[in-house]
């Protein structure tokens, strides 16, 4: 509650400061006070920077955004050319992570036959690693004069970037006794002297999920209950794993081919130099800087656009 109150108060303060500046500017214009107008202009720049900073913070408020990330790169069709492009992207993300002070560990790499890589998977560990890298998910397109083409023709290559949160296997199953309905009954058994006279069999119903487990093989009610609880805990654990897999599948998104029509960003080296994000329209002519890891402007533009879409919705 305290954290949320601080967040709301900060936005309310910004809103009041904006309104105060508007009123002050109107008075200054009426009186021809150029000095006050200059002060308002300077204050407006400060407020704009603060709003931009806070808008970007809103874009990093997802349930997994604060954590680490798993990033995979897959070369598209095109053989050596595409595999070289995949390796260039690996270098770009590694350089970016180093700039952020993140730790990078390559967990799987398949090299190309002649050059480059066919695929690579790496973990990126650091504050908000997933929150930033989720903006990079999609197909990346490169246009350049191929260094592998003796005729020096222009080639187009594609690579698919996949990003998922790194979720540790830390599932804890805490069962609330109030969520259980426990029934005891006589175990089924042979007749005669072996007829079960005491209610030792146990049936447990987990009310929130509807899972029913029962045990009647042990000698005592206590043993049957203990075994039934172990089975219930195992079934709840399996249920949580299934939910986690579904969540990861949702975060990963549907499979897309690394080819025409699916790209999120184009990197053009020839006949001109430009990197353009097709989702936001953000672009820069400093291609080398981008390939050296300066991709934060693209990430910020995308995340801010996502916040804007959510607010519109």
What is the full DSSP assignment across 209-239?
TTEEEEE--SSSHHHHHHHHHHHHHHHHHHH
Per-residue pLDDT at 254 exceeds 80: no
Give me Rg for the CA atoms of the chain. 29
Interatomic CA distance for residues 28 and 40, integer angstroms: 9
Q: Which two tokens stand for residue 259?
A: 């080819």
Between 256 and 141, the more confident residue is 141
**Strands across the sheet with 117-125, in order?**
103-111, 117-125, 69-75, 154-165, 138-145, 263-268, 274-277, 283-284
Between 94 and 57, the more confident residue is 94
pTM for this prediction: 0.68
In tens, the pLDDT along 59-88 reads: 888 888 989 999 999 999 778 999 999 999
Q: Which two tokens stand for residue 94?
A: 């590694």
> How many other β-carbons are positioned within 10 Å of the β-carbon of residue 231?
14
Instruction: Quote the pLDDT of residue 58.
Output: 77
Average pLDDT, the chain: 86
**Helix or strand run (H / E) with residue 245:** helix 221-252
Instruction: Quote the pLDDT of residue 308.
Output: 65
Interatomic CA distance for residues 267 and 251, integer angstroms: 25
In tens, the pLDDT along 127-156 reads: 899 999 999 999 999 999 988 777 778 889
What is the full DSSP assignment across 273-293?
-EEEETTT--EES-HHHHHTT
Q: How far is CA 62 from the centre of its chain?
A: 8
Q: Which residues contact 24 (CB under 8 A, 6 or more apart)?
A: 36, 40
Instruction: Quote the pLDDT of residue 297.
Output: 94
- Residue 141 pairs in a beta bridge with 158, 266
Q: Which two tokens stand for residue 19?
A: 């309104």
In tens, the pLDDT along 142-194 reads: 999 988 777 778 889 999 999 988 876 566 778 899 999 999 887 655 444 44
Per-residue pLDDT at 256 exceeds 70: no
Q: How far apart are the first and last CA of the chain?
A: 26
Instruction: Quote the pLDDT of residue 197.
Output: 55
Instruction: Quote the pLDDT of residue 2.
Output: 79
Three-state SS sequence of 31-79 = HCCHHHHHHHHHHHHHHHHHHHHHHHHHCCCCCCCCCCEEEEEEECCCC
Per-residue pLDDT at 38 exceeds 50: yes
Interatomic CA distance for residues 230 and 216, integer angstroms: 14
Per-residue pLDDT at 290 exceeds 90: yes
């Amino acid at each position: 509650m305290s954290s949320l109150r601080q967040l709301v108060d900060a936005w309310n303060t910004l809103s009041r400061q904006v309104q105060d500046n508007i009123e002050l500017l109107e008075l200054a214009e009426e009186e021809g006070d150029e000095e006050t107008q200059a002060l308002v202009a300077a204050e407006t720049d400060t407020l704009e920077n603060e709003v931009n900073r806070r808008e970007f913070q809103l874009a990093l408020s997802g349930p997994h955004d604060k954590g680490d990330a798993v990033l995979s790169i897959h070369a598209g069709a095109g053989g050596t050319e595409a595999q070289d492009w995949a390796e260039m992207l690996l270098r770009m993300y590694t350089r970016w992570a180093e700039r952020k002070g993140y730790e990078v560990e390559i967990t799987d790499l398949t090299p190309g036959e002649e050059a480059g890589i066919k695929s690579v998977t790496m973990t990126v560990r650091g504050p908000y690693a997933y929150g930033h890298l989720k903006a990079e998910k999609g197909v990346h397109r490169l246009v350049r004069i191929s260094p592998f083409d003796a005729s020096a023709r222009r080639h187009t290559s594609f690579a698919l970037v996949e990003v998922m949160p790194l979720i540790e296997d830390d599932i804890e199953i805490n069962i609330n006794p109030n969520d259980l309905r426990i029934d005891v009954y006589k175990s089924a058994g042979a007749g005669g002297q072996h007829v079960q006279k005491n209610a030792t069999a146990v049936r447990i119903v987990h009310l929130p999920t509807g899972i029913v487990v029962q045990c009647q093989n042990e000698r005592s009610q206590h043993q049957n209950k203990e075994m039934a609880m172990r089975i219930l805990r195992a079934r709840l654990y399996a249920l949580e794993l299934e939910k986690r897999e579904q969540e990861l599948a949702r975060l990963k998104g549907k499979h897309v081919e690394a080819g025409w029509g699916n790209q999120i960003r184009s990197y053009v080296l020839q006949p001109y130099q430009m990197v353009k994000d097709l989702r936001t329209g953000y672009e820069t002519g400093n291609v080398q800087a981008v390939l050296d890891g300066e991709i934060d402007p693209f990430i910020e533009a995308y995340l801010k656009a996502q916040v804007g879409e959510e607010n519109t919705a």
